[in-house]
Structure 1
Amino acid sequence: MLVRSDYAAHAAQMAELAAEAARGYFRGRLGVEFKADESPVTQADKGVEAQVRAYLAEHFPDHGVFGEEHGVEGLDRKHVWIIDPIDGTRSFLSGHPLFGFLLGHLVDGVPQLGVIGMPALGEVFLGVQGQGATLNGEPVRVSDKTRLDRSILFVNEGDKIHRDHPALFDRLMRSGQTRRFAYDCYPHALLAAGHVDAVIDYDLQPYDFLPVLAVVEAAGGVMTDWDGKPLSLNSDGRVISAATLELHAEMLELVCG
């Protein structure tokens, strides 16, 4: 069996492959379709995932794969790779450079390794359980902030939170020393690197949060659902990331009202 460093080397290669493929489509002429939930899917999403799947089929033919665009194969296997080829398709379509590539390696359903790639920025965040997190090969770690009123808070999917949880949205607007609105994976990557202290996110899929979970935890952070429960393939897509246990506890209190 390969050791974790070997999996990490393969993950880095796939991130490079995905970044090169995504940059080939970015700010170009894209064919766009809309899924049943009206979220857009482009040639880039399908093309990037196809290339990553081809790599996995060559190097790990006995592993399962869970991809956003091309479905699930062997989800019951011990080793499963999870792929979000373009995390932030709406950003990608609008020429906004903060779209990402997400890749996770699960063993018995538990994330052991995660990649947050930012193709337009030339950044690759890699986290391995028990071995720490890196940005382009250099170690990164979360901040030491323990109080929300002294923290930088990012609110992801704020329009959806406002629509479905207006009272929580109002509390969020009065929280943090500094707050920002965003979408997609990059705020969680910034948290892993110590620039952001807390992120609340909403309406995600497993391919959105499980790769990110591996990076945040490897960097020393905490990431759960809104009830404080561990994230899994069956989680409901409501997510909190925090730099410290104390800050995470305060975020849970904020969510509960």
Structure 2
Amino acid sequence: MTETERWLQAAEAAADVAACVVRPFFRAKLATQEKSDASPVTIADRTAEQAMRAVLAERLPEHGILGEEFGLDRPQARHRWVLDPIDGTRAFITGRPSFGILVALLEDGVPVLGVLDQPITGERWTARSGGTTSYRPGVLQGGRSDIGTRRCPALADAELSCTSPEMLQGDDLPRWTALRRQVKRASWGGDCYAYGLLALGQIDIIAECTMQPWDWAALVPVVEGAGGRITDWQGRPLRPDGDGTVLAVGDPALLGPAVDALAQRS
């Protein structure tokens, strides 16, 4: 077994245990708490992250771990796991199966593998840097596992998505609106699940901001392994110390025009 195969097995094991924790809480009557950024958190988020940390610490004790709920362990490690036990807690607590479990591994700050899991539908996207994204359809698509972004070289034909207008603050709102005015249609919602849909060829562009590393790290290999591109709003590679903007496109030909549109003001 190669080192990369061992990492991927660990990532999927972490996603598996998180899914087992999360499923019984879905559409249950859960108490929520507000974090310092006003985002909600539940016992499901915290318990799932603890389980993921335990799996990874047992299998790869030399690696660091950064999670949304419990911070950073072993900050000096060259390899760092980045975890979001429930990306889309608002969707989760309102009974919508559009949240996901995210597991990523960074090597010197660069994502080298990612897993996006939807534990209710059973869908899973898995990718490593430089490889091809694999897709497990779960209960959807009649068992088909086809994956790949679609050809859409023109903004005027593109489907744009963003999780919530609340994340578009200050200068980001007029920039996003300038992009919105050049595309065919825009839709709201989705969290990480929208990036899985982009990898399946259902969405063409996602433009979001106020994103943390645990929000995007797993999505970089997934999107690029399906044929797309994912950068910040200026077309630069995503980095943990970046500005929090994320731009994903299914057709690489859209990247330049989308960056240009986001540089404008509506």
TM-score (norm. length: structure 2): 0.91
Match for residue 3 of structure 2? 3
| C-alpha contact 2:172 2:209 (8 A) present in aligned 1 | no
Over 6 Å off, 4+ runs: none
How far has the Cα of 1:234 moved from its partner?
Answer: 0.6
Q: How does 1:56-67 map to 2 (within 5 A)?
A: 56-67=56-67
Instruction: Supply the distance in 1 between the matched residues of 2:99 and 2:187 (Cα, whole angstroms).
Output: 17
Residue 168 of structure 2 aligns to a residue whose secondary structure is: helix
Q: Identify the residue that residue 243 of structure 2 maps to in structure 1.
A: 236
Partner Cα distance (2:72, 2:110) in 1: 17
In structure 2, relative to structure 1, the CA distance for the partners of 1:46 and 1:166 (3 Å cut) is closer
1:149 matched to which residue of 2?
156
Q: Deviations over 1:24-80 (max 9, x none)?
A: 111113232111111111100000000001101111111100000111011321211
The answer to whether the 8 A contact 2:159-2:185 is kept is: yes
Unaligned 5+ segments in structure 1 are: none
Contact kept? 2:176, 2:262, Cα under 8 Å: no
Shift of 1:222: 0.7
- 1:185-233 superposed Cα distances (whole Å, 9 cap, x missing partner): 1111111122211111111101001111121112121111111111011
State the identity as a percent.
35
- How much is the aligned-residue C-alpha RMSD, in angstroms? 1.8
Cα deviation 1:76-126 (Å, max 9, x = unaligned) = 212111100010111111111111111001112111100111112211111
Q: Is the 8 A contact 1:15 1:124 kept in 2?
A: no
1:194 aligns with 2:201: yes
Q: Which residue of 1 aligns with 2:211?
A: 204
2:54 aligned residue: 54
1:161 pairs with 2:164: no
State yes or no: 1:218 paired with 2:225. yes
> Which stretches in structure 2 are left out of the alignment for 5+ residues?
138-144
Query: Which moves more between the two structures, 111-120 or 168-177?
Result: 168-177
Contact 1:162 1:169 in 2 (8 A): no
Q: Would you say 1:176 and 2:174 are equivalent positions? A: no
Kept in 1, the 8 Å contact 2:84–2:103? The answer is: yes
Partner SS for 1:61: coil
Matching residue of 1:18: 18
TM-score by length of 1: 0.94
